[in-house]
């Protein structure tokens, strides 16, 4: 028996543990016990007789991962060494230096130091290449391994050696690790007369209290009467934080979400726990296809209760609830325990993982199979596919050369050189990339011999291979030649045709180097189409109240 066959056997046996065809509890218990016995026996036999030394931890982890993979992407095993990741997911907190790192070629470099945190305060910059951490060389290590080296107990000293572009000598830094708390409120500001804006990036355990603090601040200082809550690209988090946030805007005791699952513990109705603080405030919520889970609870309940207007793209469609279950030896199982239902009674889960295709794939629930529900004011909403905004917008940007440049990390590398020549730049509100700077960037791409292969080109090559296999390439030779001429990218021409997109991504990278995350957001909001739609709706004849009283969605571009 081959090693591959043995591993397949273990994975198959493990997968059996998730299958229960028995209707009675004792039958289910017997099948679990039976398959556990088989699994244990296989492992013992391998231990006794397999020709090579086995890595038991890795084998069992592989078995568990393959078993859980057949369920849904959110049910995962977290071994003891990933406990810090679990803490960060729920609290946004870890101990370290406060910087993001990434792979750049064979090096690991700092990609983004967080403003006001130890790395930034001690002069570490984006683009710095890590050489040593506490006397241990970084060369050859993965990003995850280097990340673990940077983390540690708060209050402990860390010594870093790094190489900085433009400087010959190795730079040494020595400072103290701190408890790093990532604020879920990435940015807030008054963006128009009596209109506040808050970008909420995640639902960690301080999301509600941080949101309340900044909105209260804008109420008292600026007398805001309307709030734009931006939860685009917010993948969710703690359900309790979502309930608290909704509770700031609706009466105490309002039902926000109900969870239903196989276990009695999964059945629960969540109601707002406190008296509302901003009950009269107009509320507009920005969403996109990456708004998920707790974000959808907030957006969906606000929509169902006719408490505010949702603007943007249809959300992701994650209507599943996970709990963390300790399973011994420091490990945890993050397991899907229930589906959630928002006030209208709908579940917005977009993918049915319990019914897979023959090849194991899953698909979205088609709109034709979804059901209608009614909001409090009688507006029609649907289940089964995320939250459909009241005012839908469309991202018209295409997958063009601008994103292939990004994928090859060339914006980052160019800006690392750019900052050496530009000690200061204009504010995020006033910054504009000059024609000379754009030309310097395109010259840089040429010097790097930049090229790329589009997805269309890949499909063309596959089509040509099939045509050759079927003997049709000769018959269609002229057509293939003409098609190739049109599909093959011309770098210089594409750089000119997509200048606007390239300029936007390059400018964002430049702004981030000088003004960090807040500066990047300020710059982005200058041309934000969704935000413009929100502000237009708040104008005297802007349809805010009309939409909530029961009309169809308004489409915008």
Question: Residue 164's domain is classified under what CATH number?
Answer: 2.30.42.10
- β-pair partners for 380: 374
What does residue 375 show for φ and ψ, rounded to 5 degrees? -75, 175
pLDDT at 4: 47
pLDDT at 388: 96
Same domain for 328 and 358?
yes
Domain of 124 in residue numbering reads as 93-181
Q: Which two tokens stand for residue 541?
A: 């004849």
Residue 396 lies in a domain: no
What does residue 468 show for φ and ψ, rounded to 5 degrees? -65, -40
pLDDT at 1: 44
Same domain for 382 and 461?
no
Same domain for 215 and 274?
yes
Tokens 């301080």 belong to which residue?
Answer: 206
pLDDT at 172: 97
Cα diameter, the chain: 80
Tokens 């977009």 belong to which residue?
Answer: 350
Q: Specify whether 318 is catalytic.
A: yes
pLDDT at 19: 47
Q: Which two tokens stand for residue 353?
A: 């993982």
Catalytic residue among 72, 230, 304, 528: 304
Q: Specify whether 352 is catalytic.
A: no
Q: Give the three-state DSSP class for 325.
A: strand
Same domain for 35 and 99?
no
Rounded distance, CA 44 to CA 140, Å? 36
Same domain for 446 and 460?
no
pLDDT at 80: 85
Residue 57 lies in a domain: yes
Rounded distance, CA 433 to CA 357, Å? 50
pLDDT at 221: 97
Catalytic residue among 318, 390, 437, 494: 318
Residue 544 lies in a domain: no
Residue 88 lies in a domain: no
Residue 395 lies in a domain: no
Residue 286 lies in a domain: yes
Long-range own/partner contacts, residues 171-177 (CB < 8 A, 24 or more apart): 171/128, 173/122, 173/123, 173/124, 175/97, 175/118, 175/121, 175/122, 176/118, 177/95, 177/96, 177/97, 177/118, 177/151, 177/152, 177/153
Rounded distance, CA 537 to CA 390, Å? 11
Q: Specify whether 458 is catalytic.
A: no
Same domain for 428 and 364?
no
Same domain for 283 and 210?
yes
54-92 core/surface letters (b: 16 or more CB in 10 A; e: else): eeeeebbeebbebbbeeebeebbbbeeebeeeeebbeeb
Q: How many residues does the chain have?
A: 557
Same domain for 200 and 176?
no
158-190 core/surface letters (b: 16 or more CB in 10 A; e: else): bebbbbbeeeeeebebebebbebebbbbbbbbe
Residue 224 lies in a domain: yes
pLDDT at 292: 97
Query: Per residue of the chain (557 residues), what is the pLDDT tens digit?
Result: 444 444 544 444 455 444 444 457 788 899 999 999 999 999 999 999 999 999 999 999 999 999 999 999 999 999 888 877 777 778 878 899 999 999 998 999 999 999 999 999 999 999 999 999 999 999 999 999 999 999 999 999 999 999 999 999 999 999 999 999 999 999 999 999 999 999 999 999 999 999 999 999 999 999 999 999 999 999 999 999 999 999 999 999 999 999 999 888 899 999 999 999 999 999 999 999 999 999 999 999 999 999 999 999 999 999 999 999 999 888 999 999 999 999 999 999 999 888 777 777 777 777 777 899 999 999 999 998 899 999 999 887 788 999 999 999 999 999 999 999 999 999 999 999 999 999 999 999 999 999 998 888 888 899 999 999 999 989 899 988 898 888 877 898 999 999 999 999 999 999 999 999 999 999 999 999 999 999 999 998 889 999 998 755 445 54
Residue 376 lies in a domain: yes
pLDDT at 551: 55
Q: Are 55 and 74 in contact (CB under 8 A)?
A: no
pLDDT at 83: 78
What is the β-pairing status of strands 391-392 and 554-555?
Answer: parallel
Catalytic residue among 63, 293, 301, 494: 293
Q: How many domains does the chain have?
A: 5
pTM of the model: 0.88
DSSP 386: S
pLDDT at 289: 95
């Amino acid at each position: 028996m081959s090693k591959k066959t043995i591993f397949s056997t273990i994975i198959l046996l493990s997968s059996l543990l998730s299958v229960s065809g028995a209707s009675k509890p004792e039958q289910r218990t017997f099948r679990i016990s039976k398959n556990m016995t088989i699994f244990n026996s296989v492992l013992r036999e391998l231990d006794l007789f397999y020709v090579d030394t086995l890595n038991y931890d890795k084998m069992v982890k592989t078995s568990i991962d393959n078993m859980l993979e057949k369920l849904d992407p959110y049910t995962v095993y977290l071994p003891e060494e990933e406990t810090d990741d679990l803490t960060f997911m729920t609290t946004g907190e870890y101990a370290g230096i406060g910087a993001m790192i990434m792979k750049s070629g064979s090096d690991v470099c700092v990609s983004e130091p967080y403003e006001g945190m130890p790395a930034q305060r001690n002069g570490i910059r984006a683009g710095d290449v890590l050489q040593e951490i506490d006397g241990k060389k970084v060369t050859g290590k993965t990003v995850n391994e280097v990340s673990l080296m940077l983390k540690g107990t708060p209050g402990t000293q860390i010594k870093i050696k790094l190489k900085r572009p433009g400087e010959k000598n190795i730079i040494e830094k020595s400072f103290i690790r701190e408890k790093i708390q990532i604020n879920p409120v990435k940015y807030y500001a008054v963006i128009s007369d009596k209109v506040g804006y808050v970008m909420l990036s995640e639902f960690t355990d301080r999301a509600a209290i941080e949101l309340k603090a900044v909105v209260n601040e804008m109420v008292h200082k600026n007398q805001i009467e309307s709030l734009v809550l931006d939860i685009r690209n917010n993948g969710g988090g703690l359900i309790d934080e979502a309930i608290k946030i909704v509770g700031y805007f609706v009466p105490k005791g309002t039902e926000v979400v109900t969870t239903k699952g196989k276990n009695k513990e999964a059945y629960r109705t969540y109601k707002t726990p406190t008296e509302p603080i901003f009950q009269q405030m107009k509320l507009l919520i920005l969403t996109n296809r990456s708004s998920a889970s707790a974000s959808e609870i907030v957006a969906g309940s606000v929509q169902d209760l006719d408490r505010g207007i949702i603007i943007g793209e249809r959300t992701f469609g994650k209507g599943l609830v996970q709990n963390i279950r300790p399973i011994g030896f420091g490990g945890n199982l993050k397991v899907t325990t229930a589906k959630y239902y928002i006030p209208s009674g709908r579940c917005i889960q977009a993918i049915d993982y319990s019914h897979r295709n023959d090849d194991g794939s899953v698909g979205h629930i088609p709109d034709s199979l979804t059901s209608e529900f009614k909001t409090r004011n009688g507006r029609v909403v649907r289940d089964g596919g995320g939250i459909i905004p009241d005012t839908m917008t469309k991202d018209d940007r295409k997958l063009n050369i601008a994103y292939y440049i990004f994928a090859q990390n060339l914006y980052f590398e160019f800006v690392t050189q750019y900052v050496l020549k530009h000690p200061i730049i204009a504010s995020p509100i006033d910054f504009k990339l000059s024609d000379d700077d754009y030309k310097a960037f395109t010259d840089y791409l040429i010097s790097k011999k930049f090229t790329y292969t589009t997805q269309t080109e890949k499909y063309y090559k596959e089509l040509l291979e099939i045509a050759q296999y079927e003997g049709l390439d000769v018959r269609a030779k002229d057509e293939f030649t003409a098609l190739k001429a049109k599909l093959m990218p011309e770098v210089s021409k594409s750089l000119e045709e997509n200048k606007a997109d390239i300029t936007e991504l390059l400018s964002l990278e430049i702004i981030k180097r000088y003004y960090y995350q807040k500066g990047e957001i300020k710059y982005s909001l200058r041309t934000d189409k969704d935000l413009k739609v929100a502000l237009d709706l708040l104008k005297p004849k802007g349809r805010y109240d009309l939409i909530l009283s029961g009309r169809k969605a308004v489409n915008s571009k």
